[in-house]
Amino acid sequence: MDIENLVKEKDIKLTTARTEILEKLIHAKKPLSYDDIKKDISMDKATFYRNITKFEKKMIVNSFESNDKKRYFEIFESPHPHFVCVVCDSVECIKKHLEFKLSGYTIENIILKGKCKKCNQI
């Protein structure tokens, strides 16, 4: 997965700031918050948030709200659930498919909260 491909046909200018954000997210193993990312990028936080908002509109990035009042971002892939640990606040993608139906509702996002593997062993 490369950046050129991500923004192709999305009608978006590839500035230095945007490249920095996408570069970081592409290589991340987990969804990241602005706080996780800020040390590695050079732009102002206003620029970060304005760009990430644009990425979300263009379906390049998606995000969800965690337990710790922070928003977590990842490169948009096929929708999958996320796990948030209430002990250590870590966030993980759950690749296992979870089937879920609720008639009348459209489910776009599933967030599971609880204790992660690591915190369960303690």
Partner DNA sequence: ACTTTAATGCAACTTAGTTGCACATATAAA
Partner DNA sequence: TTTATATGTGCAACTAAGTTGCATTAAAGT
Q: Which is nearer to Zn ion, 1 or 102 (CB)?
A: 102
Q: From its own copies, DNA, Mn ion, none, which one binds at residue 83 (CB under 5 to 8 Å depending on kind)?
A: its own copies
- Are the C-beta atoms of 61 and 52 separated by less than 8 Å? yes
Q: Among residues 48, 54, 110, which one has the least CA distance to residue 84?
A: 110
Question: Closest distance between its own copies and the C-beta of residue 77, in Å?
Answer: 16
Encoding tokens for residue 79? 């929708």
Q: What are phi and psi of 18, to 5 degrees?
A: -65, -40
Please give the residues from 60 up to 89 whose contact with its own copies meets the rule CB under 8 A.
64-67, 69, 83, 86
Query: Rule CB under 7 A: which residues touch DNA?
Result: 12-13, 15-18, 33-35, 42-47, 49-51, 53-54, 65, 69-71
